Amino acid sequence: MAARKLFLLPGDGIGPESMGEVKKLINWMNDNLATGFETSEGLVGGAAYDAHGAAISDADMEQAMAADAVLFGAVGGPKWDDVPYDVRPEAGLLRLRKDMKLFANLRPAICYPALADSSSLRHDVVEGLDILIVRELTGGVYFGEPKEIIDLGNGQKRGIDTQVYDTFEIERISRVAFDLAKTRQNKVTSMEKRNVMISGVLWNEVVTAVHAAEYPEVELEHMLADAGGMQLVRWPKQFDVIVTDNLFGDMLSDVAAMLTGSLGMLPSASLGAPDPVSGARKALYEPVHGSAPDIAGTGAANPIAMIASFAMCLRYSFEMIAEADRLEKAIANVLDNGLRTGDIMSKGMKQVGTTEMGDAVIAEFQALSA
């Protein structure tokens, strides 16, 4: 079996603490399941700035490009608040996304039954929720030109952002959504604002055309993005896969995330286009949360978002579906058993730290793998 090359970028704050739990898991899998992961490690964010004066070095960037998958922790913290803009910690993540051409951002919102009471919504609305938001990540209004503030000369200024999408960008993100839907409940909801945005009209046309030509067996519905936001908090279980643009995806995925409780639980994946020869995609997996400077170094961080990001890596980069299912089940079982880190603590549960939570998930994964 060819080695599975993983490049680890733990980053700053709680990044290295939660990555530590994933490293233990990888070692166990290599020793007991002959998974053949080869890991190497680099610096990103403030840690890279301190060592190299850049948010990621060229050498580490090369390793990221050569890996089968990148696991990313978190970056940033008050120590680096005043570093120059182009070498600020987040620039490392942006460079990875740009150079690896990661155009598809996958944000699952899964509500573990044991945590249904920590959601701000009613138990029955969120219990068992399992939706996936597929957000276009490299186009749209965040990148479109012109993007500027111009002086109108009459005491007024004008701020301009440009929402722009080409056919190929909509086609490739639609395909990601339809392909994923086939492995889930076979339903895609596409969200745009075609009633007021011409780019939304094109988005709608292209998604409809890709569906008709390549995925007629998948159920497709279209929804205006504002209505979609309402439906997400009214009855989120109506959705399976939601595909949307960069701006709406940014907001809708945060709304969906909070249906499920804490930031410390949320994984994500960012994927590039399949290689024309091997079919492999460049991919980066990271928790949604940041470096949590307020709890960094205290051993209190919840490692589940990082571990669940590794589960996504098993699923999407290595097609290790059974292992990914088992790891996600291990997380659910540990929560069912009443273990909680501080961020998800509730009455009657047992509060544990990062390593205890990581160890418990690994022990449960071992038991399920026996």
Stretch that binds ligand NAD, among 179-187, 237-245, 285-293, 315-323 (CB under 6 A): 285-293
Whether 294 sits among the annotated catalytic residues: the reply is: no
- Whether the bond between 146 and the residue before it is cis, its omega within 30 degrees of 0, is yes
Whether 193 sits among the annotated catalytic residues: the reply is: yes
Taking CB under 6 A as the criterion, the residue among 8, 43, 75, 284 binding ligand NAD is: 75
Instruction: Answer yes or no whether residue 284 interacts with ligand NAD by CB under 6 A.
Output: no
Whether 254 sits among the annotated catalytic residues: the reply is: yes
Q: Which of 58, 226, 275, 336 is catalytic?
A: 226
Stretch that binds ligand NAD, among 21-29, 75-83, 96-104, 229-237 (CB under 6 A): 75-83
Instruction: Answer yes or no whether residue 108 interacts with ligand NAD by CB under 6 A.
Output: no
Q: Shortest approach of ligand NAD to residue 112 CB, angstroms?
A: 15
Whether 142 sits among the annotated catalytic residues: the reply is: yes
Q: Which of 99, 130, 179, 254 is catalytic?
A: 254
Instruction: Answer yes or no whether residue 334 interacts with ligand NAD by CB under 6 A.
Output: no
Q: Which of 49, 60, 193, 282 is catalytic?
A: 193
In the complex with ligand NAD, which residue's Cβ is closer, 105 or 333?
A: 105
Q: Which of 99, 142, 179, 187 is catalytic?
A: 142
Q: How many residues bind ligand NAD (CB under 6 A)?
A: 21
Q: Among residues 108, 11, 8, 91, which one has the least CA distance to residue 54?
A: 91
Instruction: Answer yes or no whether residue 302 interacts with ligand NAD by CB under 6 A.
Output: yes
How far is it, in rounded angstroms, from Cα 60 to Cα 75? 15
Taking CB under 6 A as the criterion, the residue among 10, 16, 42, 77 binding ligand NAD is: 77
Instruction: Answer yes or no whether residue 50 interacts with ligand NAD by CB under 6 A.
Output: no
Instruction: Answer yes or no whether residue 293 interacts with ligand NAD by CB under 6 A.
Output: yes
Catalytic residues, which ones? Answer: 142, 193, 226, 250, 254
